[in-house]
Structure 1
Amino acid sequence: MFDARLRPLIDPPLNAAGRWLARRGVTANAVSLTGIAVGVAAAVAIAHSHFMLALGLIIANRVLDGLDGAVARATRLTDFGGYLDIVGDFLFYVAVPVGFALASPANLLPALLLVASFTLTGISFLAFAVIAGKRGLETAAHGRKSFFYDTGLAEGTETIAIFIAMLLWPAHFPVIALAYAGLCLVTVVQRSLAAWHSFAGESPPG
């Protein structure tokens, strides 16, 4: 919901940093892989109840997630880069609740339901992107991307805010996780209605 609104604020410094890294030979894929490793490390820290360490790693992961696209825009966007970026995102989104599930048995069911809701959200996002790409649809709301990004109520900004809340108040993880799982399901419904409005009864051009 807030991703597109934050773009004008975060893109200029990220793009400047991306150009700086590109001039020094750093590739977008290297940044993506580093971000994936940092995200997994955050989940491991959560599993061992090192919540403040995990908070720092999550912030680093998100910075790297923004930088890989900035480096790509400073050089060139590739299909594999887009693939690696989205796989890294969803690996991170799943790894964090899994870390909480390993930290405490009381977190297991809420974490499972949150992962299930992330799965449905991801499927709706990617299915929309595939069909939108097939029809030649484009959007610049989330910046220049390798494929179509549809908006939703629960997006990256909201997810990171929820993860931070979980780390600041880990004892309340079950309540926070269940509430956000519900918000993710609302997003799936929202995106499905948007798909019906955009695609139902129409044939792709050409």
Structure 2
Amino acid sequence: MSTSQTLQPGIIAGTDEAGSGCLAGPVVAAAVILPNPCMLIGLTDSKKLSALKRSNLAEAIKEHSVAWSLGLSWPSEIDRINILQASLKSMVRALMGLKITPEHVLVDGKFTVPMHISQKAIVRGDMLEPCISAASILAKTFRDGLMKSLEKKYPGYGLAKHKGYPTKMHLQSIRRLGPSKIHRRSFKGVLPITRERPLWLINT
């Protein structure tokens, strides 16, 4: 039995993010309220779907959901407050953007979001709860499209291909070109490792 079936009656929203492990681009969250009963077939973890299947489901989710919204946190904020806090903040923005205020929120992962609302964090929730699966699909679909667009503004990194993830190609391009404005400078692999000179080597 899913968590949504054990909650008190009310409007339930699911939220999930995409891109937390990337070296470039924003972390994108989505929040979705599905109708009850939900007739959408094929909802699951977005990473388990082909790009075409994700795209088709994303359009169906937008058409048939009660409400949906997106929230973003860009690299400057990620570097300032860390990726976990930025991911949670992007989820809050997505939830705040819903045209209907939910009574319960199901959050993918181990952490709840900083909001005064009934909520539950569910590890692998995108595999267990349809509303979280729908949020996962919307977040990844939007982010993948955004990274393709950013490739035009920041050419040479292969953003359209790897979507900002730390592939060998991406790491090599960072070493060759240096980080761009949309790279997360607090992430390992973006900036070169610097070591302070030992004190005994410093001239006095």
Q: Normalising by structure 1, report the TM-score.
A: 0.25
Question: Which is higher, the Rg of structure 1 or of structure 2?
Answer: 2
**By percentage of residues, which structure has more helix?**
1
**By percentage of residues, which structure has more strand?**
2
